[in-house]
Amino acid sequence: MKQGYSKSHYWRKSKSAITTFLCLLSALIAVVPLFLIFFYSLSQGIGALNLDFFIKMPKPVGESGGGMANAIVGTGILIGLGTLFGLPISLFTGIYLAEHKHGAFASVVRFLTDVLSGIPSIVVGVVAYIVVVLPMKHFSALAGGVALGILMIPTATRTTEEMLLLVPQSIREAGLALGIARWRVTLRVILPTALRGITTGILLALARAAGETAPLLFTALGNRFWSTEIGQPIASLSVFIYDYAKAPFSDWNRQAWAAAFVLIFFITILNVIFRFVTRGRYAGNGN
Amino acid sequence: MADTSSNIALSVAQQPGGGAEMAPSPDVFVEVKKRKSANLGDLIFQGSTAFFAFLVFALVFLMAYEMFRGSTLSIDKFGWSFLWREIWDPVQDEYGALVFIFGTLVSSVLALVLALPLSIGVAVFLSELAPRWLEKPVSFLIELLAAIPSIVYGLWGIFVLVPWLRVSVEPMLAKNLKFLPLFKGAPYGFGMLAAGIILAIMVLPIITSISRDVLKAIPTAQREAALALGATRWETTRIILSDARSGILGATLLGLGRAIGETMAVTMVIGNRPEISSSLLAPGYTMASVIANEFTEATSDMYISSLIEIALILFAVTVLLNAAARIIVWSVTNKFKNA
């Protein structure tokens, strides 16, 4: 039987083996940058990652030491403002999309949410500049918050919708069969069931917003001093990374790496948690 | 609450179409009215969710309108010629977007050329070849690659990628491929090549994850049929790939959209020089990075207006690309779902 195999058979077999190997190789190549980025952020930033980094203010040009306390608080405030602005819209729109699965208007909105997620963040920054900075006549945390709020809408909306749709239809029917009004079933039964997934999904959207830089450059601007006023320019970790990366001081460069490490550390942790939470959900719904 | 008539009323209220055929007795009619007033909460709730959904709908158009209004000054002055004017001179207040459109196109296309073969390889690996225990963690790592902020890529680009290009890669390219105009000039490190590589890393996760979803949507029967005919693993994969090609096109368009709008990482490594050069080693400038660099410095109204017009172009291009890509991906996955 064995001599029945033609030459082309072996050629086809080896071609298959080669391409399989190439696919494996591309998967390896694809994850290399991730490890490089983690490695460099940690190895370059570790020298600046100490308690001072979190609780001290930035030092003037030329002096070493200091920290990014104002930027950490600033990023927190910006995210808070973004949440205030983006969360209600995302939550309600997500509920609307989940309740009108096949509705015509829901399809249009779902489509536009996807399109919105592809709009460059710098463009969102320009819009926030026109809508908030121009009328107020100066840069402000508020404008940055509006930009971040718009940016989190697509992710938060679609996560809310997906998590709500994961709740089995039978639970909704059970609620309705008890004679409970639709809106109460949604708010008191469906939403709490999906809450874990929605919360982590929204945290993930927040983490992404925390890393945004381009839309903050001409909205929140940046600030080397302590400020928590939402009407004034405010510091943020991401803009600090940008400024410190361009600066010709190795101490500042080190702090930029440290800030980058802090950002990707939080993003990774939240991604892991999200993965863990949604895996539980899928498993519970896999009937 | 628990009597039968209210249960009937509930179902009538739920399905008005079905209820009409039932010819309900008069007392049920009374119940229907009662239920409707009890459903005021439903009305309010439905209304408010619809209102917020409408806000998202309106947001996209509001953004377009505000940018259009913000750029009237330069639209009126330069008209369509803004798109192909090569001049960018804040001193004389003369502006044109050609240099930046060129830079954006070249860096994005370079990114796609580098990322597309790799992405398809990874997508095939994840959907066709990898065992489940390996597929999950690799997918997660690819997702994580998409979650890393642009600014961190830029930081890594400045301190790791650019020096590496300047010291090892670019002199090598310039030496061995100097007959190509693509690799002429001094090796700065900063330039189109650096921007293209950074962008390739950033669009890879998008193209990969959507291609993988499209490949997974293709029915297993297709693979079984090919294998039953004696096809090797690669021959089977090729059939699957040709089934998925329009979906992969959609994924590529989404990646292109991301590359075109990417700002920070590109701004940090492209060199920011408004020049058109045929060499990939030369510095360039993109639409997104000119906005990032010059928006706060723009002093005259015409300057600001021109920068807003560039943002408007970016907006229009990315909206069109994303819309086209989404429609393609949807129609492909739906086709296989219904099959």
Among B141, B155, B314, whose Cβ lies nearest the Cβ of A34?
B141
Instruction: Examine residue A15 and state whether it is found in any structural domain, yes or no.
Output: no
Question: Is A263 or B26 the better-scoring residue by pLDDT?
Answer: A263
Q: What is the pTM of this model?
A: 0.89
d(CA B226, nearest CA chain A) in Å: 14
Chain A residues in contact with B232 (beta carbon < 8 A)? 12-13, 15-16
For chain B, give the percent of residues with pLDDT over 90: 71
- For residue A187, give the DSSP letter: I
What pLDDT, on the 0 to 100 scale, is given for residue B176?
85
User: With bands split at pLDDT 50, 70 and 90, how would you rate the model's confidence at A281?
Assistant: low
What pLDDT, on the 0 to 100 scale, is given for residue A2?
52
Please tell me the total count of domains within chain A: 1
pLDDT at B7 over 70: no
Question: Is A169 or B10 the better-scoring residue by pLDDT?
Answer: A169
Instruction: Examine residue A231 and state whether it is found in any structural domain, yes or no.
Output: yes
- B18 CB near a chain A CB, below 8 Å? no
What pLDDT, on the 0 to 100 scale, is given for residue B12?
39
- B5 CB near a chain A CB, below 8 Å? no
Chain B residues in contact with A150 (beta carbon < 8 A)? 59
Mean residue pLDDT of chain B comes to 87
Contact A23 B125 (CB under 8 A): yes
Scanning every residue of chain A, which has its alpha carbon at the shortest distance from the alpha carbon of B198?
A33
Q: What is the CATH number of the domain that holds A245?
A: 1.10.3720.10
d(CA B121, nearest CA chain A) in Å: 4
Among B150, B268, B311, whose Cβ lies nearest the Cβ of A123?
B311
ipTM of the complex in this document: 0.91
pLDDT at B161 over 80: yes
Alpha-carbon distance B278 to A152, whole Å? 38
Q: Which of A160, A256, A151 is nearest to A206 (CA)?
A: A151
pLDDT tens string B172-224: 888 888 788 888 888 889 999 999 999 999 999 999 999 999 999 999 999 99
- Secondary structure of residue A176 in the 3-state scheme: helix
**8 Å CB contact between B98 and B85:** yes
Instruction: Examine residue A257 and state whether it is found in any structural domain, yes or no.
Output: yes
pLDDT at B29 over 90: no
What pLDDT, on the 0 to 100 scale, is given for residue A40?
94
What pLDDT, on the 0 to 100 scale, is given for residue B339?
57
- B48 CB near a chain A CB, below 8 Å? yes
Scanning every residue of chain B, which has its alpha carbon at the shortest distance from the alpha carbon of A210?
B149
Instruction: Examine residue A82 and state whether it is found in any structural domain, yes or no.
Output: yes
Chain B residues in contact with A31 (beta carbon < 8 A)? 138, 141-142, 145
Among A20, A112, A127, whose Cβ lies nearest the Cβ of B234?
A20
SS (H, E, C) chain B: CCCHHHHHHHHHHHCHHHHHCCCCCHHHHHHHHHHHHHCHHHHHHHHHHHHHHHHHHHHHHHHHHHHHHHCHHHHHHHHHHHHCCCCEECCCCEECCHHHHHHHHHHHHHHHHHHHHHHHHHHHHHHHHCCHHHHHHHHHHHHHHHHCCHHHHHHHHHHHHHHHHHHHHHHHHHHHCCCCHHHCCCCCCCCHHHHHHHHHHHHHHHHHHHHHHHHHHCCHHHHHHHHHCCCCHHHHHHHHHHHCHHHHHHHHHHHHHHHHHCCHHHHHHCCCCCCCCCCCCCCCCCHHHHHHHHCCCCCCHHHHHHHHHHHHHHHHHHHHHHHHHHHHHHHHHHHHHHC
Q: Which region, left, alpha or beta, applies to residue B23 given φ > 0 means left and ψ of -120 to 50 means alpha? A: left
Scanning every residue of chain B, which has its alpha carbon at the shortest distance from the alpha carbon of A265?
B148
What pLDDT, on the 0 to 100 scale, is given for residue B42?
87
Side chain identity at A93, as an amino acid letter?
T
- What number is the average pLDDT over the span A217-246? 90
pLDDT tens string B271-305: 999 989 888 999 999 999 999 999 988 889 999 99
d(CA B174, nearest CA chain A) in Å: 24
Chain A residues in contact with B66 (beta carbon < 8 A)? 127, 130-131
- B72 CB near a chain A CB, below 8 Å? no
- B229 CB near a chain A CB, below 8 Å? no
Among A16, A91, A187, whose Cβ lies nearest the Cβ of B232?
A16
User: With bands split at pLDDT 50, 70 and 90, how would you rate the model's confidence at B78?
Assistant: very high
Contact B292 A122 (CB under 8 A): yes
Contact B46 A183 (CB under 8 A): yes
Scanning every residue of chain A, which has its alpha carbon at the shortest distance from the alpha carbon of B313?
A123
Scanning every residue of chain B, which has its alpha carbon at the shortest distance from the alpha carbon of A221?
B296
Contact B152 A92 (CB under 8 A): no
Structural domain that includes position A262? 54-284
pLDDT tens string A98-149: 999 888 999 999 999 999 999 999 999 999 999 999 999 999 999 999 999 9
Instruction: Examine residue A247 and state whether it is found in any structural domain, yes or no.
Output: yes
What pLDDT, on the 0 to 100 scale, is given for residue B30?
46
pLDDT tens string B91-143: 999 999 999 999 999 999 999 999 999 999 999 999 999 998 999 999 999 99
d(CA A117, nearest CA chain B) in Å: 9
> Which residues 75-104 in chain B show a CB within 8 A of chain A?
none
Q: Give the domains, in start order, of chain B with CATH numbers.
A: 4-74 (no CATH), 80-338 (1.10.3720.10)
pLDDT tens string A112-125: 999 999 999 999 99
Among A105, A114, A123, whose Cβ lies nearest the Cβ of B314?
A123
Question: Is A8 or A89 the better-scoring residue by pLDDT?
Answer: A89
Among A105, A120, A211, whose Cβ lies nearest the Cβ of B151?
A211
Scanning every residue of chain B, which has its alpha carbon at the shortest distance from the alpha carbon of A90?
B52
